[in-house]
Amino acid sequence: MAKLHEECGVFGIYDPEGNPAVTTYYGLVALQHRGQEGCGIAVNRDREIYHHKDQGLVNEVFDEEKLEKLKGRMAIGHVRYSTAGGSLRENVQPLVLRYVKGQLAISHNGNITNAAEIRSKLERNGAIFQTTADTEIIAYLIARERINSGSIEKAVKNAMKLLKGAFSLIVMSPNKMVAARDPWGFRPLSLGKRDNAIIFSSETCAFDAIDAEFVRDVTPGEIITIEDGEMRSDTELCGRQKTSLCIFEHIYFARPDSAIAGEVVHECRKRAGAFLAKQSPVEADIVIGVPDSGLSAAQGYSEESGIPIDTGFIKNKYIARTFIKPTQSDREIAVKLKLNVLKSAVNGKRVIMVDDSIVRGTTSERIVSLLRDAGAKEVHVRVSAPPFTWPCFFGTDIPDRDQLIANSHTIEETAKIINADSLDYLSIENLHKIAPNSNCGFCDACFTGNYNVDVEHLLK
């Protein structure tokens, strides 16, 4: 199914009294929706960093024996989906390296827009890279800056000044843990506590999983250092850029039970559905949502319109990854394995199908076909996001413009292509109303082309 893929997820914990590796394992399981290609955990034990990582899901890569070997007082972890660098084992994080000041481990979520320029300069000065991921460039910069800086946190700050784009980072040195967020705040990063433990996570749902308390979001541009259980914050780089949290976190990426930028994601998606019901009403018998992120929006549409909601799809949650299928029939079977229609709910009904996005149109066409095959009389598609018209350079795998169906077809033409009786998207105006209590600005560049970072060299 040609859906957009999740981001990456990062997790870090300082806990001298507990078992940081095991806690990180559970944190990564809670963040598994953000990346299913690979994962890893690195721990600090007596100033030495030990780690294990591999391709696969968290419960595939780790078992009790592997976790038992990862003892330490602090740990960082990562779940990966490759938006840049490719799906290769060497690109799995955390990235651990050794240099003149000792060891360094880093977990990173986001994409650096000036990565190619920095990499080229470093290579001309003799740098040798082992991976193709942005993370190694960041790690190299931090290591280089650390040689001339008095502390790891100063090295992180100096490296941040050279970087453009999206980077939520957790860095571990022999003595400290440092969490940092880019000045634009493209990707989420939260701070939590549990007893004497200090925790960082891409989403608050990981705090819930380990019985930790959400404290606050890491401010865009902020650098938080943990040393011997003491926490200090450096906000010198805060407020230098217009905050630009990816709005697609609220629409699609984040788990519904996470709170991001002062908003519970489930409530934002319900608002999107309610706006769709006001914006584009249609006579129908039932509302159904496409799992998973379409479910909350469908609930909002139903509540606003008064049309009853029902379960239209059953999702097989045990299908982790679908490989490229050699024939069309195999591809169709793969779709049905992932998503099956509850025929008793849709047969003979006029159906409003709420989904989170349409990218190329191929997935929507297959899902509409499943509904029609199950006996749906009409299928009206409502999308809880505006049309994708521009690529993303900050960590979302939105394709080139010529592959986005909204750039080559009108809404009416797209409706015919996906075999829907009608189609509408959430308007840009309503998009910016789904998170009214948020404490930041949002990036909507994939819908509008209004990038808050210079990407002209990437658009050519």
* Under 8 Å between Cβ of 335 and 370: yes
For the range 281-286, what are the long-range contacts, defined as Cβ-Cβ under 8 Å and sequence gap of 24 or more?
Answer: 281/305, 282/352, 282/380, 282/422, 283/350, 284/349, 284/350, 284/351, 284/352, 284/378, 284/380, 285/349, 285/350, 285/351, 286/310, 286/312, 286/345, 286/346, 286/349, 286/350, 286/351, 286/352
Cα–Cα distance between 99 and 41 in angstroms, integer? Answer: 20
Which residues, at least 6 apart from 159, have a Cβ–Cβ distance to it below 8 Å? 138, 141, 142, 145
Phi/psi at 197 (nearest 5 deg)? -85, 140
The catalytically annotated residue of 8, 268, 440, 446 is 8
* Under 8 Å between Cβ of 7 and 33: no
In this structure, what DSSP letter does residue 197 have?
A: E
Cα–Cα distance between 18 and 73 in angstroms, integer? Answer: 8
Tokens representing residue 300 in the block: 């909002």
Crossing angle of the two packed helices 362-373 and 328-338, in degrees rounded to 10: 70
Phi/psi at 173 (nearest 5 deg)? -110, 180
**8 in active site:** yes
Residues annotated as part of the active site = 8
